[in-house]
Amino acid sequence: MKGPKNLGDLQLAILRALWERGEAPVATVHEDLSERGLALTTIATMLRKMEEKGLVSHREQGRQFLYRAEVDPELVQKNLVGDLVTRLFDGDPLALINHLLRAGEVELDELDDLRRAVANAEQKRTRRPK
Amino acid sequence: MKGPKNLGDLQLAILRALWERGEAPVATVHEDLSERGLALTTIATMLRKMEEKGLVSHREQGRQFLYRAEVDPELVQKNLVGDLVTRLFDGDPLALINHLLRAGEVELDELDDLRRAVANAEQKRTRRPK
DNA sequence: TTCACTCTACTACCTGAGTAGTTGGCGCCG
DNA sequence: CGGCGCCAACTACTCAGGTAGTAGAGTGAA
């Protein structure tokens, strides 16, 4: 159930495709990543390696394999982001946000919008539990 | 002047040590990373490899080498964070912050504090330019 | 039946990061 | 002067990620 910390570029891209699709044959994943210009077998190989690590699983449909992600997107995000925060910001997530602001990646009013939206959702959840 | 996108764990740790120290001999970096239990030569080798890539430089002091970082911390942060945002959040930094909030890594009031601090600094800078 | 096609399985490489032993030069302490 | 110790250079290896060709099996069409 624990998502891994180290995910290569291709692996993450594949996972994202699977998260999006739910379940997909190799060819479909291949097409989703077509901008990378990779061979179909590259995707297939990667998928097999990822299955060994438990990142994905497959079931057979005719002679095709349908793959699906076995790791939770939320968890993977948490791990990846957490890793970055640890390695780069001494484990302080606020430092990361601060960086985003300072570097001009995010504007103050965008932050405010987000803040409001989150606070709102929070409220709704608290007021009408379940 | 462009910081690289891919930085290994050790390389980043070394850079952080050098950013902190400004300039340091191998032995000092080694001590800064002592919790990793690495051999001194490991650090030395890594430093040499990093120098080949232009990440660090050295000057000689007696028979020792003093290393210094040749890349700007801000830039490296920007690249690393930017890379993550691209790979994981479709290039939307707000999605990252949203994730931090949802995952409970950051609380709303912490965000507010930070927001105020940043707005304040902004103001000061605008009011008294230079 | 046979042939072409489509997939997966196997095998093979390359590269970068990380890790560390061994070597060889050079200065210092007796 | 001679050995000891420090330090950079060189060499060597492992591992994971990525990339892809080739082989082999099953399927559907002619």
B39-49 pLDDT, tens per residue?
999 999 999 99
CB of A68 closer than 8 Å to CB of A22: yes
Element (H, E) at B68: strand B64-69
Taking the CA atoms of residue A31, residue A32, residue A34 and residue A39 in that order, the dihedral angle to the nearest 10 degrees is: -60
Domain ranges of chain A: 1-89, 92-130
Q: Which residue of A has its CA nearest to B113?
A: A94
Quote the distance between the C-alpha of residue B44 and its chain's center.
20
In chain A, residues with a C-beta closer than 8 Å to the C-beta of B10 are none
| Separation between the CA of B62 and the C1’ of C16 (whole angstroms) | 32
- Rounded to two decimals, the ipTM of the complex is 0.90
Nucleotide nearest to A11 (CA to C1'): D17
The pLDDT tens digits along chain A (130 residues) read: 667 778 999 999 999 999 999 999 999 999 999 999 999 999 999 999 999 999 999 999 988 999 999 999 999 999 999 999 999 999 999 999 999 999 999 999 999 999 999 888 877 777 766 5
CB of A3 closer than 8 Å to CB of A75: yes
Among B81, B108, B112, the residue with its CB nearest the CB of A96 is: B81
What mean pLDDT do residues B97-124 have?
92
| Separation between the CA of A7 and the C1’ of D15 (whole angstroms) | 14
A23-27, B28-32, B60-64: lowest mean pLDDT where? Answer: B60-64
What CATH class has A1-89?
mainly alpha
Tokens of A76: 């993977």
Q: Could you say which architecture CATH assigns to the domain B9-69? A: Orthogonal Bundle (1.10)
